[in-house]
Amino acid sequence: MKTTFGTLLAASSALLSHVVAAPAPTPVLEERAAKVTVALSPSSTIVGGSALKVEAFRGIPFAQPPVGSLRLKPPVKVNALPTTFDATAIEAACPQFFFSTKGNDILSSVLGDLLNIPFFQTVTNQKEDCLTINVMRPAGTKPEDKLPVLFWIFGGGFEVHLILRSMSSKGA
């Protein structure tokens, strides 16, 4: 037993000396999606991302945030975007219910109460400032290209839009 333990200890210490002597790896930051910039006017640009041959510009506001005096009112057009608008992040989802709190069984009722608390709205990126649009196009598109357009507005009705949105955001 002593020779087996001694051999194991000697091999471990030899291996450890090589591990300790190895140089520390240099951190490498990986750019997962290339940046794409589009000039809307001489003073306004939008920065999006490009991956898998698709350029994506996410969370571009089409109305002022529906908060304060604009809450529960018709949308009010955005006056102007900032000079540079970062459209690379996944946009906020409008607040929604994941489960009804009026369920017929105790499990649905408890899940409804639990998943509809503000903590889960934060975790699932739900905000009242959610009046945004995503624009997707083939990579390398030029202004003179004639492309078909699909315009889709999520209608609400307490559907779970968050799942559909995350499924469509796998590419870029």
Q: For CA atoms 78, 41, 141, 139, give the dihedral sign.
A: negative
In a domain? residue 141: yes
In a domain? residue 74: yes
- Using DSSP's 3-state secondary structure scheme, residue 138 falls into strand
Segments forming the whole domain that contains residue 76:
34-92+127-168
In a domain? residue 10: no
Instruction: pLDDT band for 159, please (50, 70, 90 cuts).
Output: low
In a domain? residue 106: no
In a domain? residue 66: yes
Contact criterion met (CB below 8 Å) for 113 and 101: yes
- On the question of pLDDT at 71 being above 70, the answer is yes
Q: How far is CA 88 from CA 38, 81, 110, 117, in A?
A: 12, 15, 36, 28
* Strand duo 44-51 + 34-41: pairing: antiparallel
Question: Number of structural domains, the chain?
Answer: 1
In a domain? residue 117: no
Which residue, chain included where needed, has tokens 């608390």? 117
Query: What is the share, in percent, of the chain residues with pLDDT greater than 90?
Result: 22
CA-closest candidate to residue 138, choices 149, 127, 125, 126:
149
Instruction: pLDDT band for 12, please (50, 70, 90 cuts).
Output: low
In a domain? residue 13: no
> What pTM was estimated for this model as a whole?
0.64
